[in-house]
Amino acid sequence: MTPIDAKRPLQLNDQGQLRHFLSLDGLPRELLTEILDTADSFLEVGARAVKKVPLLRGKTVCNVFFENSTRTRTTFELAAQRLSADVITLNVSTSSTSKGETLFDTLRNLEAMAADMFVVRHADSGAAHFIAEHVCPEVAIINGGDGRHAHPTQGMLDMLTIRRHKGGFENLSVAIVGDILHSRVARSNMIALKALGCPDIRVVAPKTLLPVGVEQYGVKVYTDLAQGLKDVDVVIMLRLQRERMAGGLLPSEGEFYRLFGLTTARLAGAKPDCIVMHPGPINRGVEIESAVADGAQSVILNQVTYGIAVRMAVLSMAMSGQNAQRQFEQENAQSPSVSLALASSTRPPAWTRLPICTSAKASSCPWAPRPQASPPARPWKPTA
Ligand code: NCD
């Protein structure tokens, strides 16, 4: 029997399956391949007359977007609906958060509605991890993009796009071009490409838009677009993240386009069958020429379609990882060895660790207060 490991990665259960999806850091190639294979099978569902499977029937998925989004939010909604879940989307800019409610209180209320999954987008790096650490452990958290840190479903939909158009990763040269410094997409893509065995990963950007130490991701750095694009199989363009830029990192958008914009002439330096990708939203004439964005080599709209299938895969795998974890814990609850492991674990008592774990579902939540151990009812208040 496997003892419960208090140090296991937050996003995996005791059997190494996904239970949250927070970042691609440290995820093994087998798990990434399983996500791609599962997504491949869901692509067929999107092509049916009735685009539904019952995998999440009776489950509630709550999209909580603290930052603007069109593609990611709507494709998560569609993915959850195609899995037959009930879906709520909270537009935080018009919700109680704008009336002063804290993140904790917003999430406590959603927990009280017995949501099973939260898809979270937040401007702060680490927000999804923070929520996963504090929410009731049976709720799955899916990161829909946190600050500059990670955008793991975008990373996986980009990998699905590459695999479907190029057949694999083993012999590929891939260039990621543009605002690497502020891009969570670039980070997730570098990690995924490395883990999946891509031998030649290039980042191409002006020096001011390259993070210090980016070579640690196993990438080659180019500050000249022609050199960076030479003979590549895939080019991933990035948007200039103006909202995250402080100070004059660029002389002007025109100057950026002149040196780093992807035009038909520049694309000619790549392999003739090179595919062009972009996570969207695209800025025509800033990072990409219209003729390229709409041209025969562009797979930008395919990415959007594949995004639904990848999100279906991640939602269904995380829910099944959560269910497996519940079952594992129930089966082992009576075992003396596991009881000992739990007794010696470093988890602090529920009332100090889980300020938001007091939902309607708390009775089935292993870390929630048991009736005999609960202090007298007192409202939880955020610390000053
Ligand atoms: C990306 C994001 O939000 O990080 N877009 C997306 O998810 N479709 C990239 C971007 O905004 O530039």
Cα–ligand 1 centroid distance for 353 (angstroms): 33
Q: Residue 224 pLDDT > 70, yes or no?
A: yes
Residues 134, 121 share a domain? yes
Three-state DSSP class for residue 284? strand
Residues 261, 210 share a domain? yes
Which of these three, 271, 288, 303, is where a domain ends? 303
Q: What percent of the chain has pLDDT over 90?
A: 66
Hey, what amino acid is at 290?
S
For residues 202 and 378, which has the higher predicted lDDT (pLDDT)? 202
For residues 27 and 351, which has the higher predicted lDDT (pLDDT)? 27
Q: Which residues line ligand 1 (CB under 6 A)?
A: 71-72, 145, 151, 154, 184-185, 239, 279-280
Q: Cα(112)–Cα(23) distance, rounded to whole angstroms? A: 26
Residues 144, 49 share a domain? yes
In this structure, is residue 365 part of a structural domain? no
Three-state DSSP class for residue 375? coil
Alpha-helical runs (H) found in the chain: 29-46, 71-82, 103-112, 127-134, 152-166, 184-195, 225-229, 253-260, 264-267, 290-293, 300-332, 336-343, 350-353
- Tokens coding 74: 């709507």
pLDDT in the model for residue 96: 60
Residue 142: pLDDT band (50, 70, 90) is very high
Q: Which of 347, 346, 328, 348 is nearest to 338 (CA)?
A: 328
265 CB burial (10 A radius; 0-12, 13-18, 19+) = exposed
In this structure, is residue 8 part of a structural domain? no
User: What atom in ligand 1 is closest to the CA of residue 67?
Assistant: 3
Residues 225, 134 share a domain? no
Residues 335, 212 share a domain? no
Task: Give the residue numbers spanning the domain of 44.
Answer: 29-150+305-356
Q: Residue 160 pLDDT > 90, yes or no?
A: yes
In this structure, is residue 136 part of a structural domain? yes
**Site to substitute for ligand 1 among 72, 77, 303, most atoms within 8 A of C-beta:** 72
Hey, what amino acid is at 362?
A
Residues 66, 102 share a domain? yes
Q: Cα(27)–Cα(315) distance, rounded to whole angstroms? A: 16
Residues 299, 312 share a domain? no
What are the residues whose beta carbons fall under 8 Å from the beta carbon of 327, sequence distance 6 or more? none
In this structure, is residue 368 part of a structural domain? no
Residue 107: pLDDT band (50, 70, 90) is confident
Count of domains observed in the chain: 2
Q: Residue 188 pLDDT > 70, yes or no?
A: yes
User: What atom in ligand 1 is closest to the CA of residue 151?
Assistant: 4
Residues 219, 136 share a domain? no
Q: Which of 290, 254, 297 is nearest to 274 (CA)?
A: 297
Cα–ligand 1 centroid distance for 281 (angstroms): 7
Q: Cα(8)–Cα(16) distance, rounded to whole angstroms? A: 9
Cα–ligand 1 centroid distance for 327 (angstroms): 36
Exposed e or buried b for every residue in 144-168, given b needs 16+ CB within 10 A? bbbbbbbbbbbbbbbbbbbbbebee
User: pLDDT of 341-350, one tens digit each?
Assistant: 443 333 333 3
What are the residues whose beta carbons fall under 8 Å from the beta carbon of 69, sequence distance 6 or more? 121, 144, 145
What DSSP designation does 100 have?
T
User: pLDDT of 234-283, one tens digit each?
Assistant: 999 999 887 766 666 777 888 899 999 999 999 999 999 999 999 999 99
Residues 215, 280 share a domain? yes
Residue pair 63/90 in contact (Cβ under 8 Å)? The answer is yes
In this structure, is residue 50 part of a structural domain? yes
In this structure, is residue 23 part of a structural domain? no
Residues 258, 162 share a domain? yes
In this structure, is residue 1 part of a structural domain? no
**What average pLDDT does range 6-24 have in this prediction?**
88
Q: What is the CATH number of the domain that holds 313?
A: 3.40.50.1370
Residues 274, 180 share a domain? yes
Cα–ligand 1 centroid distance for 95 (angstroms): 22
Question: At 203, phi and psi to the nearest 5?
Answer: -115, 135
Peptide bond before residue 281 is cis, with ω within 30 degrees of 0: yes
Q: Which helix (H) or strand (E) holds 237?
A: strand 234-237
Cα–ligand 1 centroid distance for 326 (angstroms): 34
Q: Residue 332 pLDDT > 80, yes or no?
A: yes
Residues 260, 134 share a domain? no
Which of these three, 261, 288, 303, is where a domain ends? 303
**Site to substitute for ligand 1 among 65, 76, 185, most atoms within 8 A of C-beta:** 185
pLDDT in the model for residue 139: 94
Using alpha carbons, list the distances in angstroms from residue 372 to 231, 336, 349, 359, 375: 68, 21, 14, 17, 8
319 CB burial (10 A radius; 0-12, 13-18, 19+) = buried
For residues 161 and 256, which has the higher predicted lDDT (pLDDT)? 161
pLDDT in the model for residue 334: 65
**What average pLDDT does range 299-321 have in this prediction?**
98
In this prediction the pTM is: 0.85
- Per the rule left: phi > 0, alpha: psi between -120 and 50, beta: everything else, 222 is beta
Q: Which of 260, 256, 258, 257 is nearest to 248 (CA)?
A: 256
For residues 378 and 55, which has the higher predicted lDDT (pLDDT)? 55
pLDDT in the model for residue 251: 72
For residues 319 and 242, which has the higher predicted lDDT (pLDDT)? 319
Q: Which of 327, 339, 371, 351 is nearest to 138 (CA)?
A: 327
pLDDT in the model for residue 342: 41
